[in-house]
Amino acid sequence: GAGVSQSPSNKVTEKGKDVELRCDPISGHTALYWYRQSLGQGLEFLIYFQGNSAPDKSGLPSDRFSAERTGGSVSTLTIQRTQQEDSAVYLCASSFDQETQYFGPGTRLLVL
C-alpha cells in the first residue's frame, strides 16, 4: 500500500513568512510524529499525535511552531514568522503499533 506522503517536497520562503507542511500517514496508522533534521542539530523530535489524545508537544523548539491533526489522519505543521535557523528537512512518521515508525520523504525547507 501507499507509504507516508509529505508535501511540498521542497519549500523556499522568505524570513518572516509563515509556512505549512503537510503529512499524510499510512492508512490505519493511529500514531503520527514530526521530526526535524538539520546539519547542526541532527534528527530531533518535534511533536507526537496518538488518536484523539492531546499531542505530546515537548519537542517543539518555540511557540512559532504548531501542529494539528484533523480527523485522526492528515497532519499540518505550521511555522510562523520563519527564521533562517528553521531551515531543515522536516520528516513525518506514522505507526500502527507505536513501536515501529515509518517515515515519509520529508519536506526540505529553506528560509532566505
Partner 1 sequence: AQTVTQSQPEMSVQEAETVTLSCTYDTSESNYYLFWYKQPPSRQMILVIRQEAYKQQNATENRFSVNFQKAAKSFSLKISDSQLGDTAMYFCAFMKHNAGNMLTFGGGTRLMVKP
Which single residue is written with the C-alpha cell 507526537?
Answer: 48
Nearer to partner 1, 76 or 102 (CB): 102
Using CB under 8 A, pick the residue from 79, 88, 93, 109 that binds partner 1: 93
Name the segment binding partner 1 (CB under 8 A); options: 15-23, 37-45, 67-75, 79-87.
37-45
What type of residue is 103?
A: F
> Which one of the spans 11-19, 63-71, 75-83, 103-111 is the region binding partner 1 (CB under 8 A)?
103-111
Measured CA to CA, the distance from residue 106 to residue 111 in angstroms comes to: 16
Q: Strand order of the sheet with strand 75-79?
A: 5-7, 19-24, 75-79, 65-69
Cβ pair 4, 33 in contact under 8 A: no
DSSP letter for 41, please: T
Q: Which of 11, 22, 26, 59 binds partner 1 (CB under 8 A)?
A: 59
Q: Which residues contact partner 1 by CB under 8 A?
A: 31, 33, 35, 42-43, 45, 48, 50, 56, 59, 89, 91, 93, 98-106, 108
